[in-house]
């Protein structure tokens, strides 16, 4: 059914769609802190609870709780759930990287296998409810090829089109930049040989990145949010073992492609075009 969007008011409202709890902290945590501190409304939406990220039968509940803790660290008070099942890895994949334990896919019930229009309808209701200025999803490869991440890209764009939200930011990572820093969690995921990922590419070439946000001023909060996801980013993980300076080198920048006109992420004082 069609939506009727109210006129935009106030400083703006950004809606972040993420596939699983912990993705928000790793890829966009500093940006969300910066927006919240600038008076921009932030709504955090999870497609799934990430219940295939380990063997605990209570993992969905655990990860929902971790997501709420992480959101608190980031200054985000509006957390929503689309309620789709975790897809796990692509068919034939046998394991997730170290921050997402081994599990095979959930079959046709998973988010990656949902009808895009139907999923977009569900997200569109959130966009209208908060009068979204922009939507943040992932790049077309899902950053590193996880099928649920790829679905996030498709659903974010479809929902934005459905409700007339003109700007979609695609969270990504700078492929070249990551060659020069300590290992990023997404690199560890991408290097795993048996994931059954849907693409061999990691992130986006530097020249194709539209926006880089320096989140170095918010590293303590970003790190706290990542640590809140202890079922996926435990104390012994590579990210949590990094010294403060090294953590800043690896996680102090967040990257986006922009589809549509400039919006609230471009207005952040530490945002700059390209890399």
The tens digit of pLDDT for each residue in 40-93 reads 999 999 999 999 999 999 999 999 999 999 999 999 999 999 999 999 875 433
Radius of gyration of the chain (CA): 17
Coil, helix or strand at residue 175:
coil
> What is the Cα–Cα distance from 133 to 118, expressed in whole angstroms?
22
The CB density around residue 227, as the number of other CB atoms within 10 Å, is: 19
Is residue 263 in some structural domain? no
| Domain interval for residue 197 | 13-257+268-273
Is residue 7 in some structural domain? no
Coil, helix or strand at residue 117:
helix
pTM of the model: 0.89
Structure tokens at 111: 């988010």
Half-sphere CA count of 7, side-chain side, radius 13 A: 1
> What is the Cα–Cα distance from 258 to 256, expressed in whole angstroms?
6
Collect all residues with Cβ–Cβ distance below 8 Å to 3 and sequence separation of at least 6.
Answer: 124, 125, 127, 128, 162, 163, 164
Is residue 58 in some structural domain? yes
Which pLDDT band, with edges at 50, 70 and 90, does 202 fall under? confident
CB 265 within 8 A of CB 211: yes
Greatest Cα pair distance in the chain: 51
Q: According to the per-residue pLDDT averaged within each range, which of 5-19, 112-126, 261-275 is highest?
A: 112-126
pLDDT of residue 221: 98
Is residue 129 in some structural domain? yes
The tens digit of pLDDT for each residue in 112-135 reads 999 999 999 999 999 999 999 999
- Report, as an integer, the average pLDDT of 213-222: 97
Is residue 5 in some structural domain? no
Is residue 148 in some structural domain? yes
Q: How many folded domains does the chain comprise?
A: 1
> What is the Cα–Cα distance from 74 to 34, expressed in whole angstroms?
9
Is residue 215 in some structural domain? yes
Q: What is the CATH number of the domain that holds 23?
A: 3.40.50.10320
Is residue 4 in some structural domain? no
Q: State the DSSP string of 2-53.
A: ---PPPP-SS-EEEEEESSTTHHHHHHHHHHHHHHHTT-EEEEEEEE--TTS
pLDDT above 70 covers what percent of the chain?
84
In this predicted structure, the answer to whether residue 37 has a pLDDT above a threshold of 90 is yes
């Amino acid at each position: 059914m069609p939506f009727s969007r109210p006129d935009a008011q106030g400083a703006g409202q950004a809606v972040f769609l993420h596939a699983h709890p912990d993705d928000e902290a790793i890829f966009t945590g500093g940006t969300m802190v910066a927006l919240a501190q600038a008076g921009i409304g932030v709504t955090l939406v999870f497609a799934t609870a990430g219940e295939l990220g380990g063997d605990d039968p209570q993992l969905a509940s655990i990860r929902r709780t971790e997501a709420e803790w992480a959101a608190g660290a980031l200054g985000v008070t509006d957390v929503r759930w689309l309620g789709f099942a975790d897809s796990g890895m692509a068919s034939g994949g046998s394991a997730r990287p170290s921050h997402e334990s081994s599990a095979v896919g959930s079959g046709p019930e998973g988010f990656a296998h949902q009808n895009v229009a139907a999923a977009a309808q569900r997200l569109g209701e959130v966009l209208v409810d908060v009068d979204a200025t922009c939507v943040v999803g992932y790049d077309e490869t899902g950053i590193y090829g996880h099928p649920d991440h790829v679905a996030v890209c498709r659903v974010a764009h479809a929902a934005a089109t459905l409700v007339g939200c003109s700007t979609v930011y695609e969270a990504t990572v700078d492929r070249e930049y990551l060659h020069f820093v300590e290992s990023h969690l997404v690199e560890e995921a991408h290097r795993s040989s048996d994931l059954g990922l849907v693409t061999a590419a990691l992130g986006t070439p530097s020249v194709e990145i539209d926006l880089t946000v320096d989140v170095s001023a918010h590293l303590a909060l970003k790190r706290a949010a990542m640590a809140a996801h202890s079922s996926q980013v435990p104390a012994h993980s590579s990210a949590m073992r990094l010294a403060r300076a090294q953590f800043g080198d690896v996680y102090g920048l967040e990257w986006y492609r922009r589809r549509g006109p400039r919006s609230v992420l471009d207005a952040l004082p530490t945002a700059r075009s390209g890399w």
